Amino acid sequence: MIRFLKIGSFTLALVVLCQFFITVPVRAEVAYGDLNGDGGIDAIDFAYLRDYLLRGRIPPATDWEKNADLYKDGEVDSLDFAIFRQYILGMVPGLPFNPGQTGNQTVTPTPMIQGDWAQFIPQPENVALNLVIENSPETNYKNQKYIQVTITFNTGGYRIADEGKLMSSISESGEVNLYTSGVQIEKYVGNGGVTQALTYRKIKYPIDNQLADKVYFDFRVYDRSVTGFAFKGNSIVAPTPIPYEATVNEKFIDANSQFAANLFKEINEDDLDKNVFFSPFSLSMALSMVYQGADATTKEAMGRVLNYSELTTEEINQSYREHLNYFKRLYPEVELNVANSIWTREGFEVNQSFLDTNKEVFDSQNSYLDFSKTDACDVMNEWISDATKGKIEKMINPPIDPDMIMYLINAIYFNGSWMDQFDVTQTRDSAFTNIKGESKIVPMMSKNDNYKYAETSEYRAVELPYGSGSVSMYCILPEAGNLNDFIAEFDNTKWKEIKGKLSMGSKIVLKLPRFKIDYQPKDLKDKLTALGMAEAFSKNADFSKIADKIWISDIGHKAVIDVNEKGTEAAAVTYIGMGTTSMPNSFIADKPFMFVIADNATGTVLFMGKVVDF
């Protein structure tokens, strides 16, 4: 009887256990990032998250809240938005947020929550470090040194609970190590609203002790290292430039440089008496994305304009792959982000191999979008704004032509601090003689330092490096004649000559205006047609590797730049719409001059411009 009861009890337990497994559903994996329920993760989902945070509109996916919680903290907020943005721009490899993943993310400890505030550790890219030496009337001309830490927050809801203090130690070799102790930053995690809208904070740490030949500063938050830099007693130690780890294809660099010069001439003709700024690299990359789908005489004509005639498609693509990988490694010395996207009209059939090639070569984000919807332009413009950090916000205007079947978009964002910054107290209002011969008063930055410098009977040139010297601005000042005449004769040979003549000069008297330019070239189709690309804009175009009977219907470009005492911030966007159917040496830029921002490891021309008026 006892044995029977034991067997019966075991059988009953087994039945109950089996019933438990039968009735309890298997939990489905969370589809992080999929906010519209289509099984994909792309810019449309990103736009839904942005729309929810800005306007409170609910995304269509059933489990959108779980899918949008990329930080996995039980909330959908700006942290999730920041993570999604980094994913869209290719800065992190996957979703959700994983503290240990590769990319630009750093290992972040789990935040400790106290009340409505949680510990927060900023990312290195959001922290700028500067050694400041004050030597002005305000400080009685005393060299007062301090380290300035500038922290940028993507949204409000943060506070500095404790700025901490500067500590020091000396190594066995005699190097001085400075570091912060007790820094506490907090993020609001409560349910109610928060009135603090802290977007950035500058913290100054005075240096009182004697400095050694080389000093290292480590910025720590909650005793966790965030970022650091090395400096001498009176200047930052220039870090080593980032090497270009592949072999530079000189034919590719020459092709891009000559295309840059040719297009600069065409653009300049429209605005002889106005400031000009554009990104030839953005334009050539966007056109190269389209080039992947060109065939026959259309491809030959595009190749001639882009100067690709001596390059195979694989050589072109490999050079772009290597450039994009290299640009990512420049951070944090300079920030140079390049993003590409392809937007296809929903329902239109495109050769998948074309999309796959652009994804593999240019890391393009490929999405289908209903162009007939009123918010279709908003989705693409929001992608542009995010890729350029808000510097360029609106490029594509509604309504979209019914014949438009695809947009290919390239965006570049650059932010670099001068290797040796200008002293803002030395900036003075000075005269600038514009292209018309008129005198204008402008804020003229001034510095007396060692720079690479060249001087001939034709021009003066100076190289102003950013960060570690991987990227520089080259300013070119014609000695005689008109700047527009100089630009009309400028080509890749002249560019190489200028760089070849530069040599280090001591105590160069440098004066450069502080300036901003916001520029949009007119009629790019006409300019590219003049260079030889007419067929691509006609119904005779052969883009059969994309789809049958399509051509370039529209092309637009915009670029902005801000040059000041700290450095340079610049951005550019290109979109292509496919349709169916004896004194010391000196460089005094007090008259019109041209400038080039170029990568020094490869020679790639990133931006070009001229300053002729204020």
Closest by CA position to 533, among listed 265, 302, 266, 310: 302
> Minimum mean pLDDT among 5-14, 514-523, 592-601: which range?
5-14
Q: What confidence tens digit (pLDDT) does each residue in 187-222 have? A: 877 765 554 455 667 788 988 766 666 788 889 998
The topology under which CATH files domain 250-417+516-581 is: Antithrombin; Chain I, domain 2 (3.30.497)
If you write DSSP's letter for every residue of 6-26 in order, what string do you get? Answer: HHHHHHHHHHHHHHHHHHSPP
| Alpha carbons 293 and 358: distance in angstroms, whole number | 10
pLDDT at 354: 97
Half-sphere exposure of 410 (CA within 13 A, CB side): 25
pLDDT at 211: 67
Q: Is the pLDDT of residue 103 over 50?
A: no
Top pLDDT among 489 and 124 is at 489
Q: Is the pLDDT of residue 17 over 50?
A: no
Are the C-beta atoms of residues 457 and 586 closer than 8 Å to each other?
no
Collapse the DSSP code of 206 into the 3-class scheme (helix H, G, I; strand E, B; otherwise coil) and give the result. strand
> Looking at the chain, which residues constitute the CATH 1.10.1330.10 domain(s)?
43-105
Q: What confidence tens digit (pLDDT) does each residue in 315-366 have? A: 999 999 999 999 988 876 788 999 999 999 999 999 999 999 999 999 999 9
Are the C-beta atoms of residues 37 and 61 closer than 8 Å to each other?
yes
| Alpha carbons 489 and 494: distance in angstroms, whole number | 8
Confidence of residue 141 (pLDDT cuts 50, 70, 90): very low
Query: Between the CA atoms of 118, 119, 122 and 123, what dihedral angle is there, to the nearest 10 degrees?
Result: -90
Angle at 443 between CA 442 and CA 449, to 5 degrees: 125
> Looking at the chain, which residues constitute the CATH 3.30.497.10 domain(s)?
250-417+516-581
Looking at domain 43-105, what is its CATH homologous superfamily?
Answer: Dockerin domain (1.10.1330.10)
Q: List, in sequence order, the alpha helices (H) in 28-72.
A: 43-55, 64-68
Q: What are the b/e assignments for 3-12, b being 16+ CB within 10 Å?
A: eeeeeeeeee
pLDDT at 28: 46
pLDDT at 58: 86
Q: What confidence tens digit (pLDDT) does each residue in 421-437 have? A: 898 889 999 999 999 99
Beta strands in 120-233 (DSSP E): 127-134, 144-152, 158-162, 165-170, 176-181, 184-188, 200-206, 215-221, 224-231
Q: How far is CA 273 from CA 264, 270, 320, 430, 574, in A?
A: 14, 9, 35, 20, 24
pTM comes to 0.67
Confidence of residue 134 (pLDDT cuts 50, 70, 90): low
Q: What confidence tens digit (pLDDT) does each residue in 537-550 have? A: 999 999 999 999 99
Q: List, in sequence order, the alpha helices (H) in 271-312.
A: 280-291, 296-305
Strands 215-221 and 176-181, by their bridges, are parallel
Q: How far is CA 163 from CA 154, 177, 179, 412, 465, in A?
A: 19, 19, 12, 35, 32
Structure tokens at 523: 């009629």
> Using CA of residue 497, residue 503, residue 506, residue 507, what is the dihedral sign?
positive
